[in-house]
Structure 1
Amino acid sequence: MIDIPAIRWGKPYESLEKATIVHFESGDELATLHQTNPGLVQRDMRRAQRARDILREIPSSELISMVIEAADLYLNANLPLGSGSQTPEDFVHYQSATTGLPEHMCRANMDKNHFVLTNMGEVLEALTRGLDLDILARGHGVEERGVPVSYQAQAPVIGLVLPSNSPGVHTLWMPVIPLQVGLVFKPGPQEPWTPYRMTEAFAQAGVPREAISIYPGEGDIGAAVLASCSRSMIFGGADTVARYQNDPRVQPHGPGFSKILLGDDVVDDWEQYLDVMVDSVLVNSGRSCISCSGVWASRHTEEIAQALAERLAPVLPKPADDPESPLAAFTVPGMAKAIDGMIERQVDVPGVRDLTSEMRGNGRLDERERCDYLLPTVLHCADADIEAANVEYMFPFVSVVECPQEKMLSAIGDTLVCSAITSDERWRRQLVDATHVDRLNLGPVPTIQLNWLQPHEGNIIDFLFRARAFQEAEVG
């Protein structure tokens, strides 16, 4: 069993208090993780400026090269981890064993992270809109068009309060090191693996260890990170987003409520787009904020729901090491049962049908000795005002909602990804102008298909740097 210390500005820290990480199915002990306390975090953050100072000694171009080298180490190398080491195969096995994600999904997330790191130069060029990174390093400079500009870093480090249930979120913070900003991790209790492996890959590639800290612990550690860092990201539920959405220091990431909208001009041919709908709901076990939780159309909604249910109802759990395993397990006791109860209350109202339960002849909750599963669920909602029309859960769940096209944009609410399938130019213009839609896809694009050269839930450059006026004249 591996013993994993906390990391305080690159130095291992051993605590008297440890948490044991176990395999969700077998109960085997995989690792012990040293726990930290809020006071420790607060004290260490007094030295946060040192992380940025040491990174600024290295040109951004060299840091990008280091990140690219780290990508291959992360994907392929046997890297040190606490008292032992970890191969890529170990990483996949451990991540699956603690998060409940099937191993092939963990490998897919590794490949995604590797892609973003390998293409970091192009990613940063897109996010900065072609700005010379040396201008961010100096704080001022002259653009190619001859205009003087200035950008001021708003924090020496970024705090990252990470989740346990979705290893796919890590691409959001990966551009930070080349921006010469340090990293402060509060890892999810069931998913410490990515922060530790990426930290070691960065260090092996030449990134100064002193620029990164990792503070395992409970919720009070996350609160301490948010309170102590001038810029932070946090991942959580709708309550978390509501709590921090007006705090300029915090970028909250929560449910996506991502949707597919079928325009009146294409809805009669809905069968052509069924594969797009199924993939958007099922890929990554529906556990992403970009997974589709709603299909909206003005007609044919019962037929669409029936067709989706026919495709999704037969989907059942398989062993985590099965390369075709489609569903992630719920490893936190009681969570799946609580979600099932919420859905049952939402279904038990006029205008809602659970077509998958009708088709299977039983419910969606699959309770096991050490974990639970929720089976794919397709609801039909006869009206957009029904509560079940606009909800999201961490498994393949979708509501097919009947709503007139002219009312859709006012009814869908905040939507992270909207794939609108239509050739109606007037409606396309309204979709482009909709401020409550973050990522817009026009045409049959799965909601889970991302372009990594575009910002996701806000641009991290705009979050970390402030544009300001700047003038300079010679003295004397």
Structure 2
Amino acid sequence: MAVAEVPREPSAAVSDVVHLDALGPRGSYRTRAAARITDVTGTEAARLSLVPPVYVGRALAALREAGPVPAADLDGLLAAGADAFASGTAGGLDVREYERLVSRVSGTPASVVRTATRETARFVRRARSSAGQGGPRGTVADWRDPSLHGGGAVWARRGDVFAVNASGNHPGVHRLWLEALALGYRVAVRPSRREPFTPHRLVAALRGAGVREDRLVLLPTDHAVADTLVRGADRAVVYGGDDVVARYAHDPRVLPQGPGRTKILVTADTDWREHLDVIVASVAGEGGTACVNTTAVLVEGDPAPLAEALAARLSALPSLPPRDERAVLPVQPLERARALDSYLRGVAEGTRALLGGDGIADDLGDGSAVLRPAVHLVGRADAPQMRTELPFPCVWVAPWSRADGIGPLRDTLVLSALTRDGALVDRLLAEPTVANVYLGGHRPTHWMAPGVPHDSYLSDFLMRSKAVAGAL
């Protein structure tokens, strides 16, 4: 692959097409090989430089040679980076143009993108304290700490270079890897072609704030080169479907992030009507595209009344282009929307469609379509449909009984338990495959906050405790 490195701003608009350069350890890097990034109507919006394997190898070597961001500088750099990301010009784009491109290309409603901008900046600003939340109470950060003279532990990195093979389903996916930078890792991010603007802006903002170029890089690649990046890092997080999880399941250096299969459980001692607002928000909030959006609701007793009420609420959501301020549903190219519709019809065979049975692709007439919500009643808690997760508000509602036990609730990123049964909550917390348990219906399942673990603390994967005794 022929490449040509030229000094330039990280992004420059040419005839309304934005150029997203790689952000390497020696600055911006534009290649002759570029991926065309089209919006939901099929119109080209950007060109993303794709770097070859040799460039990835050299970039990883440069990261490995660089030291961590000095602890004394970190808080100031993160604060400045957060400000630049939220309101400044980064990567050649001001914040409004960035948000417009994200919405236009990914089909995420404009209001959702704006909220994600503010929230991502909040996570940037608090990345250091969030990372520290995962540290064991018995450890310290520096071996020079006097408390170690009689014996103790230092919280230490398991490596130096962290790679992120990112997804593009929601801008918020890029909030978590910031903790790796705060913990002293040098970070390489491979953006998704579906939405490369957020990682490009975030890396550019942090580098503009003072993070050295050889400590944080953006390496767009094709799929064949992505594995070179993952295998070349000391630790890596990889987003994808069940196939990706299976591929890396036995590699201790890789943290696979697969489907969330987020669920809500409503037991007989709780009136679901009191929680309908939060159930609707859990399914459709954030456009219904995140791994923490609810895709299955299990009801102790008859699930039909809840499903019917949920379908009625979701049916009222408008079909609008993503740029419209009233838009709340995701938009995709018409061909892809129709493919998702066909797939859903096949998966849903044997269920009762309360919403979406006559199609979920609402043609906007410009080459794109809104993905309308779908609500299906299934006959049992362990039905295969309960594991199906799609990139729009699509929910399966099933009966659950005590005889079903914990089995149907397993493999869940977030489980919202609307119950007064403390013994059941104990069982849910003890279940290894349930990552997070939200109680009482106070927050939707897509709620996240700095310092609160997403799929455990990232530091559980990145760090370890080392015994230290004595002093020099």
Question: Higher mean Cα deviation, 385-394 or 291-300?
Answer: 385-394
Identify the residue that residue 14 of structure 1 maps to in structure 2: 30
Structure 1: gaps (5+ residues): none
* Aligned mate of 1:210, from 202, 209, 214: 214
Whole-Å separation in 1 of the counterparts to 2:61 and 2:126: 33
Q: Does residue 1:292 correspond to 2:287, yes or no?
A: no
Contact 1:142/1:148 (<8 A) preserved: no
Deviation of 1:186 after TM superposition, in Å, equals 0.8
Contact 1:316/1:327 (<8 A) preserved: yes
Task: Tell me the amino acid that sits aligned with residue 18 of structure 1.
Answer: A
Identify the residue that residue 388 of structure 1 maps to in structure 2: 385
Contact 2:63/2:216 (<8 A) preserved: no
User: 3-state SS of the aligned residue for 1:407?
Assistant: coil
Deviation of 1:279 after TM superposition, in Å, equals 0.5
Whole-Å separation in 2 of the counterparts to 1:467 and 1:43: 31
Identify the residue that residue 339 of structure 1 maps to in structure 2: 340
Identify the residue that residue 78 of structure 2 maps to in structure 1: 67
Identify the residue that residue 34 of structure 1 maps to in structure 2: 49
Whole-Å separation in 2 of the counterparts to 1:217 and 1:465: 28
Contact 1:67/1:117 (<8 A) preserved: yes
Deviation of 1:282 after TM superposition, in Å, equals 0.5
Whole-Å separation in 1 of the counterparts to 2:312 and 2:431: 33
CA offset digits 1:100-127 (Å, max 9, x no partner): 1111111111111111122334323322
User: 3-state SS of the aligned residue for 2:28?
Assistant: strand
Question: Higher mean Cα deviation, 303-312 or 399-408?
Answer: 399-408
Identify the residue that residue 353 of structure 1 maps to in structure 2: 352
CA offset digits 1:239-273 (Å, max 9, x no partner): 1122212211111112111111012211xx22111
Task: Tell me the amino acid that sits aligned with residue 347 of structure 1.
Answer: A
Task: Tell me the amino acid that sits aligned with residue 178 of structure 1.
Answer: A
Whole-Å separation in 1 of the counterparts to 2:395 and 2:132: 36
Task: Tell me the amino acid that sits aligned with residue 468 of structure 2.
Answer: F
Task: Tell me the amino acid that sits aligned with residue 22 of structure 2.
Answer: A
* Aligned mate of 1:194, from 188, 193, 198: 198
Identify the residue that residue 4 of structure 2 maps to in structure 1: none
Contact 1:215/1:221 (<8 A) preserved: no
Q: Does residue 1:173 correspond to 2:170, yes or no?
A: no
Contact 1:297/1:405 (<8 A) preserved: no
Deviation of 1:174 after TM superposition, in Å, equals 1.3
CA offset digits 1:386-409 (Å, max 9, x no partner): 221332111001111112034241
CA offset digits 1:5-60 (Å, max 9, x no partner): 21221422222212232332361x33322211123212332333223x2x35x2x2
Identify the residue that residue 276 of structure 2 maps to in structure 1: 274
Identify the residue that residue 118 of structure 1 maps to in structure 2: 125
User: 3-state SS of the aligned residue for 1:446?
Assistant: coil
* Aligned mate of 1:237, from 231, 241, 253: 241
Identify the residue that residue 365 of structure 1 maps to in structure 2: 361
Deviation of 1:147 after TM superposition, in Å, equals 4.7
Structure 1 residues 294 and 335: CA distance shift in structure 2, 3 A: same
Contact 1:232/1:250 (<8 A) preserved: yes
Task: Tell me the amino acid that sits aligned with residue 282 of structure 1.
Answer: A
Deviation of 1:344 after TM superposition, in Å, equals 1.2
Whole-Å separation in 2 of the counterparts to 1:201 and 1:173: 15
Identify the residue that residue 6 of structure 2 maps to in structure 1: none
Whole-Å separation in 1 of the counterparts to 2:135 and 2:82: 21
Identify the residue that residue 40 of structure 2 maps to in structure 1: 24
Structure 1 residues 144 and 277: CA distance shift in structure 2, 3 A: farther
Contact 1:390/1:412 (<8 A) preserved: no
Whole-Å separation in 2 of the counterparts to 1:225 and 1:239: 18
User: 3-state SS of the aligned residue for 1:189?
Assistant: coil
Task: Tell me the amino acid that sits aligned with residue 64 of structure 1.
Answer: D
CA offset digits 1:401-441 (Å, max 9, x no partner): 11203424112220000010111122122122121110111
Identify the residue that residue 260 of structure 1 maps to in structure 2: 264
Alignment of 1:65-214 (within 5 A): 65-79=76-90, 81=91, 85-129=92-136, 134-135=141-142, 141=145, 147-214=151-218
Whole-Å separation in 1 of the counterparts to 2:109 and 2:179: 27
Identity of aligned pairs, percent? 26
Whole-Å separation in 2 of the counterparts to 1:4 and 1:346: 38
User: 3-state SS of the aligned residue for 1:39?
Assistant: helix
User: 3-state SS of the aligned residue for 2:398?
Assistant: strand
Q: Higher helix share goes to which structure? A: 1
Whole-Å separation in 1 of the counterparts to 2:123 and 2:150: 31
Structure 2: gaps (5+ residues): 1-13
Contact 2:154/2:466 (<8 A) preserved: yes
What is the TM-score when the length of structure 1 is the normalising length? 0.89
Contact 1:189/1:218 (<8 A) preserved: no
Deviation of 1:274 after TM superposition, in Å, equals 0.9
Task: Tell me the amino acid that sits aligned with residue 223 of structure 1.
Answer: D
Whole-Å separation in 1 of the counterparts to 2:59 and 2:209: 25
User: 3-state SS of the aligned residue for 1:435?
Assistant: coil
Deviation of 1:96 after TM superposition, in Å, equals 1.0
Contact 2:104/2:323 (<8 A) preserved: no
Whole-Å separation in 2 of the counterparts to 1:183 and 1:73: 19
Task: Tell me the amino acid that sits aligned with residue 220 of structure 1.
Answer: A
Identify the residue that residue 469 of structure 1 maps to in structure 2: 467
User: 3-state SS of the aligned residue for 2:355?
Assistant: helix
Question: Higher mean Cα deviation, 363-372 or 14-23?
Answer: 363-372
Task: Tell me the amino acid that sits aligned with residue 15 of structure 1.
Answer: T
Structure 1 residues 129 and 104: CA distance shift in structure 2, 3 A: farther
Identify the residue that residue 454 of structure 1 maps to in structure 2: 452
Question: Higher mean Cα deviation, 36-45 or 434-443?
Answer: 36-45
